[in-house]
Amino acid sequence: MAAPGDIPQAGPALQRAQRDRARRRKRMRWGLLAPALVVIGIFGLAPLSIALVYSFLEPGTYGGVTWAFSPEAYVQFLFQRDIFDDTLGFNGAYLRIFGRSFGLALITMVGTLVLGFPVAYFIAARPEQQRNLWLFAVTLPFWTNLLIRTYSMMLIVRDEGFLNGALIWAGVINRPLSIIYTDGAVLLGLVYSYLPFMILPIYASLEKFDFRLLEAAHDLYASRVQMMRHVALPLTRPGIVAGCALVLIPALGAYITPELLGGGKKLMIGNMIALQFGSGRNWPFGSAAALILMSIVLIALLVSLRSGAKPEARHG
């Protein structure tokens, strides 16, 4: 009988075999990961690194960059250099653009959530055979280019468009409402284009949702509103968080919609960044603005993910 702690040792041949196997497994793991790492490296990290490097260089006169280190792009984001004495004065113009963009993106997010949740709920509550048809209807707009859809939206909301035409015909108004080229038009366009991104992830979590739980809650004296608040919403929260992220992030960087429906009058971040690489000829500033935007989004995302991971956060 073996004494306690007396673990039988593997023989030398077995030890060698174990070491070989471990080495082979490690080699295989890296081999399998390699294609993904290459793709992430080329399409993710490389452009980001270029942007990061460019943001610390000086702008070239005709676009591009001059290879001299300068933090000017980041300074320019908040301050304005006086032309005469070179002193720095605070400049809120870019912050305002960021603020406006965030405001519009947040309203877009809330709008798509308010419209999208009932739609997703409706689809998930259909009999199984019907659901794919409804989902197809939701994804149908993706078959058409966003640019074309945005132009169609312009046709609808412009002064002589369908909307005003219909309202005048119905006698609700007698002069066309000026909708196009306002924040309202931009919002309308954003909500319209991003709605499917909200519906689909919420539907995905509602599809897994056990509707019998609602019956149980109803039986336990919950009203319809309470059923939603205490059972349906918390259990579909991952879908809601995902939907919000999928709408908020691209809405922040939206380019086509504010350009066309907003008439390019009031800038959103996307347009501002595009401008720096175009007629603004300030590539470092464009890069810096893009990176600042990315950092803000990243932090917001981490915070929301952390709160999304704790379903039982406040209840004791």
**Structure-block tokens of residue 46:** 């490389």
Binding part of the chain for other proteins, among 67-75, 172-180, 206-214, 255-263 by CB under 8 A, reads 206-214
125: contact with other proteins by CB under 8 A: no
Q: Which of 215, 264, 302, 303 lies at the binding interface for other proteins (CB under 8 A)?
A: 215
- For other proteins, the closer CB: 40 or 305: 305
226: contact with other proteins by CB under 8 A: yes
Q: Interface mask (CB under 8 A) for other proteins, residues 234-273, using x and -?
A: xx--------------------------------------
Backbone angles phi and psi of 65, in degrees to 5 = -135, 155
307: contact with other proteins by CB under 8 A: no
213: contact with other proteins by CB under 8 A: yes
- For other proteins, the closer CB: 7 or 313: 313
Task: State how far Cα 161 lies from the chain centre.
Answer: 31
Binding part of the chain for other proteins, among 10-18, 21-29, 162-170, 231-239 by CB under 8 A, reads 231-239
CB 120 within 8 A of CB 202: yes
Which residues are at the interface with other proteins (CB under 8 A)? Answer: 210, 212-213, 215-223, 226, 230-231, 234-235, 311-312, 315
